[in-house]
Structure 1
Amino acid sequence: MRPADSISPTEGLPDPRTPPTKFRPDIEGLRAVAVLAVVLFHAHVPGLDGGFVGVDVFFVISGYLITGLLWREAHSTGTVRLRSFYGARARRLLPASALVGIVTAIAAAVLLPALKARSAMGDGIASALYVSNYRFVLQGVDYSSPLAAPSPFLHYWSLGVEEQFYLTWAPIILGTAWLIRVVGRRSRTEATSSRRPYLVVLALIAAASFALCLVASYWAPFVGFFSLPTRAWQLAIGGVVALTATQWHRLPPRIAAVVGLAGLALILLACNQLNESTVYPGTAALLPTLGAALVIGAGCATPTRGCGRMLALAPMLAIGRISYSWYLWHWPVLIFAPLLVGHPLGLAGRLAAVLLSAVLAVLTLRFVENPLRFAAPIRNSAWRSLGLGAASTAVAVASCVALLVVVPAPVGRGTPATPLTLTATPVPAGSGVDAYNAAVQEVFAQAQAAVAASADLRAVPSNLQPPLADAAAELNKVYANGCLLSAWQIQQPDCASGDTGSSTTVTVVGDSNAAMWQPAFREVVDQRHWRLQMFNKAGCPLLELPTLSAQLKREYTECERWRGEVAAKLKAEPPRLIVLTMWRQYGRDGYKTGFSAYDPAWLDSLTRMVRQLRGTGAEVLVLGPAPDPQSVVPVCLSGHLDDAVACAPPKSAAVNQSGIAAETAATEAGGGHYADVTGLFCTRDRCPVIVGNTLVFLDMTHLTVEYSRQLAPAIGALVDRALAHS
C-alpha cells in the first residue's frame, strides 16, 4: 500500500506542448485520509478495523493522476514519451523507497533472529525490484493472519503494484493511440482527439480485472489481495474519472458537494465496518474504490466545496505532502519498536511509534524526496532521472545481498548430541490389555528420560537434525506426496503406502497436524507389513462443525464436502484402525474458524464422530495434541543459539490438560481410545524444542519429519494397544 505520487504540472515533461494541470488540494487531502487510515489501522486504533482500505484509495488516486497525465500528453503531442514518463516516476519514488528499504534491512539484521532476518533480506531484494507482491503471493502470505510474524517489508507489496501499473499503463495508452491510427487510418493527432476509445479500453480492463478479483478473492485471497491483475480495476476506475472530468465538471455545485460527501462517507464506512475477516478485495473493495472516485469526480466540479473544503484544510494538506514517506516509514517503525523497548506496545506506545515515523517522513521529504525530485540537472534529463532510479534500486539490492553475507545461516554451536532412540518391546499375541499398557508405559518412560535430559539444553547442538536453515522446507515434504489436500482440493486420493496388499489397514484422518504423523505411522506399518492410508486436508478436522476457512476468509465448503467423501470411503471400505487427530488451537488468538477447540460443540462433535467411525466396525484411536511451542521454533532458536531453553515453553502454557481430559472422556463416551502424547514432549515443567539432537517442531504447529519418525515405537505401542481390543 502506498500513496500515489504527486504530479506537478510539467514534472518530467518539459515539452511546452503538454498543457499544465492545476493543483488539487482536495486530492492532497484525500491522500491524508488514505494514509491516516492505513497507519492507524496498523497501529490497531479502535474503530479502524478496515483501515487497510486506504490502499484502495491510493490506487484510485494513482489511476486518476497517471491516466490524466498520459492522456493530456497524448492529446497534445500525439504520443507518450515513455523515457520522460518513467524518468519522472523513478526520480519521484525510488530514492525514498531505497533509503527506507536499506534502513529497514539493517534494522532487520540487527534486531531479528537470524532466520527471520535472512527471510527479510529476501523480501528486501524483492521489494527493491518491485516484485515483492508476487513473492508474497508465492509464499501464500495472509496479510491479516493473527499467527504469522509479518515481514518488515510487507507494506512494499503495493509499491510493486504501483510500479507494475506504471510499466503497463503508458504502453496501454500509447498502444491504444496506435491501434486507432491503424484501424481508423487516422493521423497521430486524430488518433488522440477522442476519449471514447480510451474509455472503452479502461472499461474492458476494469471489467476483466474486477471479474478476476471476485474469483481470486473467493478461491485465493492472497492472489486477489497482492496482484496487479486483481487490483487493476481500481486504477482503471481512477482513469475513467480522469477521462470523464469534463462531464464531472458540469455537475451543479450543490449536487457535486453532496456526491463528494457521499464518497467520503463510503470511505469512512469501509474503515469502520470492514475488518480482517472480510473477504477482500472482492465486492467489499467497491466501498472505498467508488468512494474515492466520487470524491475525486466531485472535486472536478467543486474542489473547494463540500468535503473538498475539509480535505483542503492545512493539517490535511501537510499530511498529504508527507503521505508517501510516512507510508514507507510507519510499518518498519511499528515492527521494530517493540524489539527495541523489549516488550509489546500498548496503544499509547503504538501511537508514539506512528508519530516517530511521521517525523522521519518529514525529514525524508525535506532532505531526500524534494531535493532529488526538483533538482534541475536531474529534473531536466530523463536519462539522469532513470539513472538515479536505477542507482537507488541497485544500492538497495546490493545492501540486502551484503547483509545476507553478514547474517549467515544459523548453525548450532553446541556439543554434538546423541539422537533419540526408542525401543518398544513386542507384546506376545494373545496377551491381555495389561501387557499392552505396560509396553506403552515402557516406551513412554524412555521418551520421558530423553525429554528430561534435554530440558535444560542451552547451546543448540552442532549436529541438529534437521538443521535450522532446512526446517522451513520440511513442510513441503508433507504436501509433496499429494495426500495432504490444500484448502481448495476436495477429492481424496487413496494415498496408500506400506504393504498395500495387506488385509490390515490403518487410516490416519485429519488436518495437517494429522499428516505430520505420517513418518511415524509409515515406520509402524512397514515393521508390521500393514497398509497405511492418509486422509488429510489442511485446516479441516474430521468433526461435524460449521467451519470457516481462516485462509479463504469464508465458509469452508470444501472442508464439508471433503468430510462427506472421507466418511463415505471409510464406510465403504472400513480399515481395521482409524486414527483421528487434529490441531487443537482452532479459534485462538483471532484465528477464526467458526469454532474453538475443547469447547462443548467440539467435544460433542468428537463423541459423535468417534461413535460414527466405530459404526464402520473399525477401532478408533484419537491421538492427543502435541504441545503448543508458542513460537516459530526454528526462528526462535536462530536468535538463541546459546540458550535453547529460551524457546522451550512451560508445560502450563503449552499443554491444555483440562482440554485433554475432556477429550478423553468424550472419546471414551463414543467407544474409542484416547492417547495423551504429552509425555513424548514435556517434562513436568517444560516442553523442550530439541530432544537429543532432533528439532521437535518445524514451525509453530507441526513436528519435524525426523522427530515424528523417531516416535514411531511409541506410536506403534499405542496402535497395538488400540487393536488389542478388536
Structure 2
Amino acid sequence: MFDRTPATGGRRLFSEVNAKYRSRQQDITPIIADPRSFSPLMHAQYSPAGVAETDAHAVAPTKPRPALREDLNGLRGVAIALVVVFHVWMGRVSGGVDVFLTLTGFFFTASLIRAAASGGSLNPFTRLGRVLRRLGPPLVIVLLGVAIATIVLLPQTRWVDIGNQLISGVFFFVNWELASTSQDYLAADPDVSPLQHLWSVAVQFQFYLAATLLVFGLAWVLRRSRGGHRFSPHPRIFFVIFMGIAVVSFVYAADGTARLQSWNYYDTGARLWEILLGAAVAALFAWRPPNSGSWADLSWSNRASRTVLASAGLIAILACGFVVSGVEEFPGPWALLPVLATIALVIAGPNTAVAHLLSTRFSLWLGSIAFPLYLWHWPILIFTLAYTGAPTADFATGALVIAASVLLAMGTVRLLEKPVQASPRSFHATTIAAVSAVLAAVLVVGAISWDHFIRQSVADLQATSTLDPALYPGALALTKGNVPDDAEVVPELFSAPEDLPQSTIDGCIADFETTDVLSCEYGDTLASRTVALAGGSHAEHWLTAVDLLGREQGFRVVTFLKMGCPLTAGHMVLLGDNEYPGCVEWSRAALDRMGELRPDYVFTTSSRPREQGPGDYTPDWYIDVWNELASYGIEVLGVRDNAWLAREDVAYRAIDCLADGGDATSCGMRRSDALDAVNPTLAASFRQPAVLPLDLTNALCDTAVCRVIEGNVLIYRDEHHLTATYMRTMAPELGRQIAAATGWW
C-alpha cells in the first residue's frame, strides 16, 4: 500500500542501496523513481535529470545517481503515525491514507512512464509480479493472523463475513465487499471488521493494474505502429489523460458524497482522482523536469516560496483529521486538503526546512515500517476490543496496541520484506513467495468451505419452514402463553442472517443506489382487496407474516421497498450520518405509484428509535406521508417498529451475543430502553383518522425485557431485523389486529 523501505532507516541505508544499484541507471527520461531497484511501494527518488532501468536497451552513458527524496519517505512515516493515532485513540480518519494514495500515483506512474520511455520491457505481468512479491507476503501473513484470531476470539456467527473479506483481501477487491455490506469506517468497536482497513490496499492494487495496462498499452501501440522514433508517448499525453480521468472521478466522488457516502467511501471510481493527481504530477515532472540546481543556486524568493509551500502542506496534513470528518466527507471535495498538501510537499522539493524535518531518523524509520504497520494496527485494535469487551481503547490499551503493532511491523520487515527486496530471485525470496501463495490458497479454500456449510444450513432451513407449533410457538409464547419444552433454537445462529423475507430473495427491494420503484405481488395475487407494503427494510421484514395472511384471508400484497428508506414526502432522510437523497427521490416515485394503484391500505412502519435517549417516537415527516396518502383516499396500517439492539449506543447482533455465551435475556434489551410506555403512533393517529395503529411489541417483549429468543425461535437475524421464522409465528397476532382495524375478517 505504501512507499516502503527496509527497516534500517537513516542516510547510511540510502547510500548503500544507491551504490548497489548505480550500475543499472541510465540517464534517459526525466522522472523520479527507479523501477528496478525501487518498487512503487518503496523509496522515493528525486531525479530531475531522470533515470531509467535497462530492461532492453543500453541507450545512454551512466551518470551519477541523483539524491533520494528522503523527505517523502519521512512523510510516509508522519502519515502512518497519524493513521494509527487517530484510529486507536480518536476514532477519526486522519487523512493519512489519502496522502498514501497520492504518493502511490506519483511513485508508481513515474516508474511506469520511465520504463516505457527507456525502451524496456512492456510485459505487464513482470511489473505486477514485482508488486505482488512485495505486497503479497506481508498481506498474507496478516490475513492468516486475522483468520486465527477470528477462530479464537470471535463467535462463529461472524466467521462467514470475515471469511468473505479474507477472500476479497487475497484477490484485492475487499473495498467492494465492504461497500456492499456498508461497513462504517468511522470508529473502532468490537463489532467492526478487523479487515476493514484493507479497502485502501485493494484500491491501490486496482490502480496498479489499470495504470500498467494504460501506460504500457499506449507504449506498445506506439512501438507497433513504427511511426516514430519514440519508445513511448510523450509525457504530456499521459498528463492530459490522468488529469481528464481525475476530473471525472472527482465529480463522481463529489456526487457520491451527497448521494450515498457509505458506498462512496470505498468506491474505486470515487477514490481514483486522489491517486491520479499524484500520477499527473509524475507525468508533469517527466514532461517538465523540476529545477535540478542546488538550493544555494536558487533565488531568495524561490527558496522562500518553496519553504512556505512545504510548510503549508505539512500543517494541512497534520490538521486534516482535526478539521475534517473524513468518513463523512472523503473522497469528496474536502479530500483536496490532504491530496493538495501532499502535492505541495512533492513540488517544494527536498531542500526546504520542512524536508529536512521529514528526513530525521525517526521519520525515516517510521516510513520504513509504514506498510506492515498499517496492516497490523487495525486488526490488533479490533481483536483487543473484542477480547476486553470495551467499545473503545483507553490510553493504556491504545499504547499497548501501538507497541504490539510496531513490533510485528518490524518483524514483518525483517523476515519478509527485507529478504525479498534485497534479492528478489534468491532462494529465500522464492520460498517466501511460494509459502505466501500456499497460505493464501489455504485461506481461500477454508473460507469457501465454511461459506458452503452455512449455505447448506440455510437451504435446510428454507426446506423445513413449517415448524411444530407445540415445540416452536415463537411469538405465541408471549401472546397466548404457549410455553414449550426446551429444544434447539431455530433458525440456527449460523443461518439466521440468511433467514430473509421473500422479497429479498426475489430481488424485489431497491438497493441503496437504485431509485427506480420495484414492485412485486404476494399473498392472494388474484384477490380484489389490496394492501401495499411500503418503506424500508423494517417494513419489509413484516412481509413474511403479511404474505401468509394474504393467502389465508384473501388479499393481494403489493410491495414498494427500498433499503434504509422509510417513506418520506420530501423530508431528507439520513443514512447513518449522511443525507440520503436517493430515498427522497424513490419515495416520491413510490407515493405516485401508490396514488395510481389506490390500494385499500398501505402497510408501513409508524415509529422509529429516538436518535438521542431511550424509547421510540413518531416523526412529524411520517405524518406528512400519511396526509398525502389520505389525499388519495388511502388508509394506513401503521405498525410500531421493533426494538433495535444496542448497548452504550453500539449496535450488536443477537447471534454474536448468543454464540459468545449469552442467553435470551442477557442478549436482549430492557423494554424501557427501546420502547416508550405508550405506542407513540396513538397520539398521531388521534389527529389522523386514516391511520390505523398496529402494535406487535407485546409479541416481541414482555413487560420488562425484549429477549432475543421466544418460544424456542430466534427473533433477530442481525442488530434490528427480525427472522422470517419468528415472523411466521407473529402472523396470528398480526392477523387479529388487522382484522380489528379493517373488519375484513
SS in 2 for 1:485: coil
- Counterpart contact for 2:166–2:447, Cα < 8 Å: no
- 2:677 aligned with 1:670: no
> Which stretch has the larger CA shift, 473-482 or 237-246?
473-482
1:684 aligns with 2:707: no
Aligned amino acid, residue 308 of structure 2? V
Range moving further from structure 2, 191-200 or 318-327:
191-200
CA deviations 1:359-387 (Å, max 9, x no partner) are 3222322333224422xxx3356x98567
After TM superposition, give the deviation of residue 708 of structure 1 in Å.
1.4
Residue in 1 that maps onto 2:9: none
Counterpart pick for 2:497 among 469, 472, 493: 472
Q: Give 1:149's aligned amino acid.
A: D
Q: Which one is further off, 277-286 or 316-325? A: 277-286
Q: Distance in 1 between matches of 2:353 and 2:159?
A: 48
Question: Which of 649, 662, 668 is matched with 1:648 structurally?
Answer: 668
SS in 1 for 2:705: coil
Higher relative contact order (CA 8 A, sep 6+): 1
1:5 corresponds to: 4
Contact 1:63–1:236 (Cα < 8 Å) also in 2: yes
Shift in Å at residue 697 of structure 1?
A: 1.6
Asked if structure 2 preserves the Cα contact closer than 8 Å seen for 1:603 and 1:662, the reply is: no
Structure 1 residue aligned with 2:26: none
- Give the distance between the partners of 2:311 and 2:642, measured in 1 at CA: 54
Asked if 2 retains the 8 angstrom alpha-carbon contact of 1:225 and 1:281, the reply is yes
Q: Given the alignment of the two structures, is residue 707 of structure 1 paired with residue 730 of structure 2, yes or no? A: no
Aligned partners of 1:114 and 1:407 also within 8 Å: no
Q: Is the 8 A contact 1:450 1:692 kept in 2?
A: no
What is aligned with 1:42? 87
Alignment TM-score, normalising by the size of structure 2 = 0.80
Residue 439 of structure 2 aligns with an amino acid whose one-letter code is V
Q: Distance in 2 between matches of 1:451 and 1:280?
A: 53
Counterparts in 2 of 1:28 and 1:624: CA distance versus 1, 3 Å: same
Task: Choose from 223, 230, 253 the match for 2:303.
Answer: 253
Aligned pairs for 1:276-425 within 5 A: 278-299=328-349, 303-348=350-395, 349-374=397-422, 378-380=423-425, 388-399=432-443, 401-402=445-446, 419=467, 421=469
Cα distance 1:550–1:146, how it changes in 2: closer, same or farther (>3 A)? Answer: farther
The equivalent of 1:120 in structure 2 is: 162
Structure 1 CA distance for aligned equivalents of residues 155 and 634 of structure 2: 47
Which residue in 2 is equivalent to 1:429?
none
Residue matched to 2:554: 529
Q: Is the contact between residue 523 and residue 549 of structure 2 (CA under 8 Å) also seen in structure 1?
A: no
How far residue 715 of structure 1 moved from its aligned partner, in angstroms, is 0.8
**Matching residue of 1:440:** none
Query: What amino acid does structure 2 have at the position aligned with 1:170?
Result: T
State how far apart, in whole Å, the 2-side matches of 1:365 and 1:384 are: 14
Secondary structure at the aligned position of 1:468 is classed as coil
Q: Is the 8 A contact 1:57 1:292 kept in 2?
A: yes
What is the CA–CA distance in structure 1 between the aligned matches of 2:316 and 2:478, rounded to whole Å?
A: 60
Q: Distance in 2 between matches of 1:512 and 1:34?
A: 40
Q: Which deviates the most, 26-35 or 580-589? A: 580-589
* Alpha-carbon displacement from aligned partner over 1:673-724 (angstroms, at most 9, x marks no partner): 3233221012233333233343222211211122212211111110111124
Assess if the C-alpha contact under 8 Å between 1:259 and 1:295 holds in 2: yes
Give the counterpart letter for 2:705 in structure 1.
Answer: R
Among 632, 641, 650, the alignment partner of 1:625 is 641
Change (3 A) 1:504 1:163: closer
Name the aligned partner's letter for residue 45 of structure 1: M
Which residue identity does 1:334 align to in structure 2?
L
* Alignment equivalent of 2:135, drawn from 69, 72, 93: 93
Distance change (3 Å), C-alpha of 1:622 and 1:54: same
Superposed displacement of residue 587, structure 1: 3.4
Q: Which runs of 5+ in 1 are unaligned?
A: 423-442, 590-595
Distance change in 2, residues 1:568/1:61 (3 Å) = closer
Superimposed CA distance per residue, residues 72-96 of structure 1 (whole angstroms, 9 cap, x where no aligned partner): 3334444456566445433433222
Question: Does the residue aligned with 1:627 lie in a helix, a strand or coil?
Answer: coil
The 1:394–1:380 alpha-carbon spacing in structure 2 relative to 1, beyond 3 Å, is closer
Q: What is the deviation of 1:493? A: 4.9
Asked whether the equivalents of residues 484 and 536 of structure 1 are also in contact (C-alpha less than 8 Å), the reply is: yes
SS at match of 2:550: helix
Distance change in 2, residues 1:248/1:450 (3 Å)? farther
Aligned match of 2:29: none
| 1:226 and 2:266 correspond | yes
Displacement of 1:469 in angstroms is 3.0
> Which residue in the other structure is 1:575 paired with?
599
Q: Secondary structure at the match of 2:603?
A: strand
- Three-state SS of the structure 1 residue aligned to 2:495 is helix
Determine if the alignment matches structure 1 residue 639 to structure 2 residue 660. Answer: yes
Query: Contact between 1:216 and 1:224, CA under 8 Å: does it hold in 2?
Result: yes
Cα distance change of structure 1 residues 448 and 360 upon mapping to structure 2, 3 Å threshold: same
Q: Is the alpha carbon distance of 1:44 and 1:721 closer, same or farther for their aligned partners in structure 2, counting shifts above 3 Å?
A: farther
With 90-99 and 101-110 compared, the bigger mean Cα shift is at 90-99
Distance 1:644 1:284 in 2: 45
Q: Distance in 2 between matches of 1:85 and 1:519?
A: 53
Q: 1:420 to 1:147 in 2, by over 3 A?
A: farther
**Contact conserved, 1:56 with 1:285, CA < 8 A, in 2?**
yes
Aligned to 1:508, what secondary structure does the other structure show? strand
Kept in 2: contact 1:115–1:409 (CA 8 A): no
Aligned AA for 2:266? Answer: F
Distance 1:406 1:566 in 2: 40
Q: Secondary structure of the equivalent of 2:328? A: coil
Change (3 A) 1:719 1:476: closer
What is the deviation of 1:510? 2.6
| CA drift at 1:644 | 4.7
1:32 corresponding residue in structure 2: 77
> What one-letter code is carried by the residue in structure 1 that aligns with 2:654?
V
Q: Judging changes above 3 Å, is the alpha-carbon distance between structure 1 residues 510 and 203 closer, same or farther for their aligned structure 2 residues?
A: closer
Distance in 1 separating the partners of 2:113 and 2:327: 39
Give 1:29-178 correspondences, 5 Å limit.
Answer: 29-45=74-90, 49-51=92-94, 53-80=95-122, 85-144=127-186, 149-178=191-220
CA RMSD of aligned residues (A): 3.8
**2:295 aligns to what?**
none
* Conserved 8 A contact 1:114-1:408: no
- What does residue 515 of structure 1 align with? 540
SS at match of 1:43: helix
Residues 417-436 of structure 1 correspond to what in structure 2 (within 5 A)? Answer: 419=467, 421=469
Tell me whether 606-615 or 150-159 shows the greater mean CA deviation. 606-615
Q: CA deviation at 1:524?
A: 1.6
Q: TM-score, normalised by structure 1?
A: 0.81
Q: Which moved more, 1:396-405 or 1:166-175?
A: 396-405
CA apart distance, 1:111: 0.4
| Distance in 1 between residues matched to 2:258 and 2:620, nearest whole Å | 31
Q: Could you tell me how far 1:525 is from its partner in structure 2?
A: 2.0
Contact 2:104 2:275 in 1 (8 A): yes
Corresponding residue number in structure 1 for 2:237? 197
Give the distance between the partners of 1:507 and 1:213, measured in 2 at CA: 36
Distance in 2 separating the partners of 1:705 and 1:345? 34
Question: Per-residue displacement from partner, 1:358-417 (whole Å, max 9, x unpaired)?
Answer: 23222322333224422xxx3356x985674353132133146457779996889xxx99
Contact kept in structure 1, 2:87 and 2:93, CA below 8 Å: no
Deviations 1:309-366, CA, capped at 9 Å, x for gaps:
3322333222222211110110011101122334334431234322331232223223
Distance 1:635 1:206, change over 3 A: same
Per the TM alignment, residue 28 of structure 1 is displaced from its structure 2 partner at its CA by 1.2
SS in 2 for 1:249: coil
| Structure 2 spans left out of the alignment, 5+ residues | 7-16, 22-33, 38-52, 293-297, 459-463, 647-651
